[in-house]
């Protein structure tokens, strides 16, 4: 249900995340649940762009490299320090 609302509202996370928390889900579980809908939306959009032949896979691969390197670096530091670089705790 939340992924449908996410698609219809555009920035639906603004609505669905507080709604899930209000319904009693812990914040981490609500965020994870909301991310599943966002992931499904991204996969569907990628498939649609691919079918319309407007997706530049080469550019996507080049753009993905720094994102993967940066997220891997952050993940390694988070597990070593127990928190993100922003200072927010990674533990609930």
Residues 57-86 have pLDDT tens digits of 999 999 999 999 998 888 877 666 555 545
User: In the numeric block, which tokens belong to residue 59?
Assistant: 């550019």
- Residue reference for tokens 């993967």: 68
**Structure token digits, residue 88:** 């927010």
Residue 89 β-bridge partners: 83
Is the pTM here over 0.85, yes or no? Answer: no
Angle, vertex CA 24, rays to CA 20 and CA 27, nearest 5: 60
pLDDT digits (tens, 9 = 90+) for 6-59: 556 666 778 888 988 999 999 989 888 888 888 888 898 899 999 999 999 999
Q: How far apart are CA 52 and CA 73, in angstroms?
A: 35
Phi/psi of residue 31, nearest 5 degrees: -65, -45
């Amino acid at each position: 249900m939340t992924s449908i609302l996410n698609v219809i509202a555009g920035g639906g996370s603004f609505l669905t995340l507080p709604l899930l928390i209000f319904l009693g889900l812990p914040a981490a579980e609500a965020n994870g649940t909301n991310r599943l809908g966002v992931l499904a939306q991204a996969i569907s959009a990628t498939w649609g762009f691919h079918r319309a032949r407007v997706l530049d896979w080469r550019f996507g691969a080049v753009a993905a490299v720094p994102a993967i390197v940066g997220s891997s670096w952050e993940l390694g530091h988070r597990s070593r320090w127990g928190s993100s670089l922003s200072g927010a705790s990674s533990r609930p």
